[in-house]
Structures are given as structure tokens and as C-alpha cells.
């Protein structure tokens, strides 16, 4: 959501804050466009709508959408679709706890040896 730049000023007071002394300071600060409490207060179905091209952020109510209660067509009929992967037990990677290739020592620490 970002921040916006603004000037923040302070005024020195006397008499326990009842009188202004005429002294103070001003500095450039950045302020969040939306307070964090605003997000905490959002209810179900509510959102903050913001765009860099439009007006200031606004709170909006999102209308619920009801989907049809049917199963979609399965891709798995016929030839494989490019987004599908074959996953079969015989195509899995070997376990890392078995013997190391070319050796008879298991990979990783031996829990019984006390060594790491």
C-alpha cells in the first residue's frame, strides 16, 4: 500500500502546555496510507481497494460467489497435458537414508555413535 510524505511539526509550550512559546520544529515524515488497525478491523467479505492510479484507498465489501457443485473434467483422459506430471513409486528418487553410492556407509549422522 505504501506511504505518503507529509510535514510533521512540533510546538514548544510553556506553563504546562497552556502557552505556545513560538518555538518548534518541522520535519518531513512518511505515513502509512492505511493504518494497521484498519486491516485488523476488516470483517469477512471486506477488503481494502487501492491503486496507484486512482483515488485514496477505500474499504469495500466483496460479494460472495457461489460455484456450481459439480466435478470438473479430469485432464487425465487420453494423452498427457503439458501441465501434468507422472508420479509413480518406481520413478521416485532413492532414499537419502540408504547406503551412499559406491560405499557401504549410510548417509547422515549415526544416532548411536554420539557423533554429528
Q: How many domains does the chain have?
A: 1
Q: Is the pLDDT of residue 36 over 90?
A: no
Question: Residue 56 falls within a domain, yes or no?
Answer: yes
pLDDT grade for 107, boundaries at 50, 70 and 90: low
Question: Residue 39 falls within a domain, yes or no?
Answer: yes
Q: pLDDT, tens digit, for every residue of 22-32?
A: 888 999 999 88
Contact between 31 and 3 under an 8 Å Cβ cutoff? The reply is: yes
Average pLDDT, the chain: 76
Question: Residue 49 falls within a domain, yes or no?
Answer: yes
The secondary structure of the chain in percent helix, strand, coil, rounded to multiples of 5, reads 5, 30, 60
Q: pLDDT, tens digit, for every residue of 58-83?
A: 889 998 888 777 766 666 566 766 67
> Nearest CA to 35 among 17, 56, 66?
56
pTM here is 0.38
What is the residue range of 57's domain?
33-62
Question: Residue 50 falls within a domain, yes or no?
Answer: yes
pLDDT grade for 97, boundaries at 50, 70 and 90: low
How would you class 33 by CB atoms within 10 Å of its CB: exposed for 0-12, middle for 13-18, buried for 19 or more?
Answer: middle
Q: What residues contact residue 27 under an 8 Å CB cut-off, 6+ apart?
A: 7, 8, 9
Question: Residue 90 falls within a domain, yes or no?
Answer: no
Amino acid at each position: 500500500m505504501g506511504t505518503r510524505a507529509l510535514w510533521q511539526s512540533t510546538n514548544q509550550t510553556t506553563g504546562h502546555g497552556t502557552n505556545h512559546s513560538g518555538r518548534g520544529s518541522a520535519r518531513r515524515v512518511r505515513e502509512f496510507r492505511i493504518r494497521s488497525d484498519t486491516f485488523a478491523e476488516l470483517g469477512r467479505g471486506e477488503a481494502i481497494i487501492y491503486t496507484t492510479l486512482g483515488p485514496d484507498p477505500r474499504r469495500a465489501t466483496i460479494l460472495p460467489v457461489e460455484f456450481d457443485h459439480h466435478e470438473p473434467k479430469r485432464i487425465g483422459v487420453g494423452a498427457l497435458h503439458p501441465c501434468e506430471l507422472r508420479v509413480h513409486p518406481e520413478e521416485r528418487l532413492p532414499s537419502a537414508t540408504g547406503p551412499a553410492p559406491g560405499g557401504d556407509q549410510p548417509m547422515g549422522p549415526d544416532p548411536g555413535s554420539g557423533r554429528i
